[in-house]
Amino acid sequence: MNPNKKRLRRTMMFLNAQKPGLVKDPYIYNPDSIMLDLEDAVAENQKDVARFSLFHALKEIDYRGCERVVRINGLDTAYWKEDIRCAVAGGCDAIRIPKTESPEEVRAVEAEIAIAEKDFNIPVGRTLIMAAIESARGVMKALDVCESSERLFGIALSGGDYTKDLQTRITGTGVELMGARQNMIIAARAAKVQCFDTVFTDLDNMEGFRKEVETIHLMGFDGKSIVNPRQIPVVHDIFTPTQKDIIFAEKVVKEIEEKREKGIGVFTVDGKMIDIAFYDGAKRTIELAKASGVYKGEL
């Protein structure tokens, strides 16, 4: 498995791939991932040249560890295949498919990626996939999409298009997104892939943004799409485990590793019943703590 499939993705910052001022150094804001957009952000009359900007940005800018995801144009356009070739040739980390509604679409993208990887001498399997769900049908097909490809690391809700399809709108309360969020996180967890929430576009409403992030964090989401760097520290703050959680997780990991050698399956930590099922969660807490810069232990 591509080791990057499970990497930390609390924040994915959207950037128009052909705006040099945006693309040159988004890493200073420390997003976990950036998404270089060839789709909606690029005007129709710039589609012909946007790939040149994308290609050279991918080739020449050192994104200092930020994951570089490229959003391609929809599979119903004339652009998507060349988008993939350009992104793979540039060495992107993942392709984001817009408006995904079926596993076949993911597999079509996967096939193009495979050809491009071969053509451009990129190790086969290096380029991952994420699928954006933007319709009622997409939500209903979420589990199939999640299980469609070994390259797929996660699915993301795109709230704007989804609510239009539902014949409602973004209200700020989250009520219109409730079903999609629930369905998608459950599907993603069932398929053991990641799940990302939609953007929050009201930039001045930082309090509303914080509340929304708190909600999706508790729902189990792995991260959120970001449209302005100001939103990044808020997400990272909410996704940072508390010291209490970290200390407990550290004990759990150590105890499980120690007890496993002794053949003990069930035991207690701080009075709580613990077994192997706690291991992954505890490890994830430690990883999050490390990424957030609040863990200095030896794990």
Partner 1 sequence: MINAVGRDIPDEILKQTGKQPFMGNHHFDGYEYKKDGPVTKCVINNTDSKMVDNIREVLVKCGIKDGMTLGFHHHFREGDYIVNMVMEQVHNLGIKDITICASSLGKAHDPLLEYIEDGTIVGIQSSGVRGKIGQAISDGKLKGLAIMRSHGGRVRAIESGEVRIDIAFIGAPTSDDYGNLRGIGGKSNCGVLSYSMVDADYADKVVAITDCLVSFPNFPAHISMTKVDYVVVVDEIGNPDKIATGAAKPTSDMRKLMMADYCTEFVVNAPYFKDGFSYQTGVGGASIASTVSLAKVMKERNVRMRFGVGGLTKPMCDLLENGQVDALLDTQDFDLSAVESVIKTKHFRISAGEYADPFNKGAVVNKLDYVILAALEVDVNFNCNVVVGSDGVVTGAQGGHPDTAAGAKCTIVISPLIQGRIPAICTNVTTVTTPGESIDVVITDYGIAINPKRQDLIECMKEVDLPFKTIEELRDIAYSIVGEPERVQFDDKVVGIIEGRDGTIMDVVRKIKKFEFSEA
Partner 2 sequence: MEITKPALAGTLESSDCQVTVEPGDGKIDFALESAVINQYGNQIRKVVMETLNNLGINNVKIAIVDKGALDCTIKARVEGAVSRATDHFENNLWGGTGK
By C-beta, is 48 or 257 nearer to partner 2? 48
Ramachandran assignment for 191, one of left (phi > 0), alpha (psi -120 to 50 degrees), beta (any other): alpha
Kindly state the DSSP code that residue 201 receives in the 8-state scheme: -
The tokens describing 11, both together, are 């924040």
Return the number of the residue (160 or 229) whose C-beta is nearest partner 1. 229
Q: Does the protein bind partner 2 through residue 176 (CB under 8 A)?
A: no
d(CA 294, CA 176): 35
Q: Figure out which of the listed residues 4, 46, 228, 292 binds partner 1, where binding follows CB under 8 A.
A: 228
Strands 11-16 and 33-37: parallel
Under the criterion CB under 8 A, does residue 296 sit at the interface with partner 1? no
Task: Write the binding mask 25 to 54 for partner 1: x where contact by CB under 8 A, - elsewhere.
Answer: x--xx-------------------------
Look at residue 203 and give the partner it binds from partner 1, partner 2, none, a contact being a CB closer than 5 to 8 Å depending on partner kind: partner 1
The gap between the terminal CA atoms of the chain, to the nearest Å, is 23
Site membership for partner 2, residue 57 (CB under 8 A): yes
E strand or H helix at 14:
strand 11-16
> What's the CA gap between 251 and 236, in Å, rounded?
24
Considering the complex, state which of residue 114 and residue 291 has its C-beta at the smaller distance from partner 2: 114
Residue 293 interacts with which of partner 2, partner 1, none, CB < 5 to 8 Å by class:
partner 1
Binding mask 55-94 for partner 1 (x = CB under 8 A): -------x--------------------------------
- 24/164 with CB nearer partner 1: 24
CA distance linking residue 67 with residue 5, whole number of Å:
11
Nearer to partner 2, 45 or 167 (CB): 45
> CB under 8 A: which stretch of 2-10, 12-20, 184-192, 261-269 binds partner 2?
12-20
From partner 1, partner 2, none, interface partner of 166 (C-beta below 5 to 8 A by class): none
**DSSP-assigned beta bridge partners for residue 12:** 33, 225
Q: Which helix (H) or strand (E) holds 156?
A: strand 152-157
Torsion, CA 88, CA 33, CA 299, CA 284, rounded to 10: -100
Cross-strand bridge partners of residue 154: 130, 194
**Burial of 173 (C-beta count, 10 Å sphere; 0-12/13-18/19+):** exposed
Are 278 and 255 spatial neighbours (Cβ–Cβ below 8 Å)?
no
Q: Strand pairing partners for 33?
A: 12, 67
**Binding flag, residue 53, partner 2 (CB under 8 A):** yes
115, 203, 264, 276: which one binds partner 1 (CB under 8 A): 203
The item of partner 1, partner 2, none sharing an interface with residue 56, based on CB under 5 to 8 Å by kind, is partner 2
189 binds partner 1 (CB under 8 A): no
Partnered with residue 16 across adjacent β-strands are 37
Closer residue to partner 2 (CB): 93 or 222: 93
**Binding region for partner 1 (CB under 8 A):** 24-25, 28-29, 62, 203, 228-230, 293
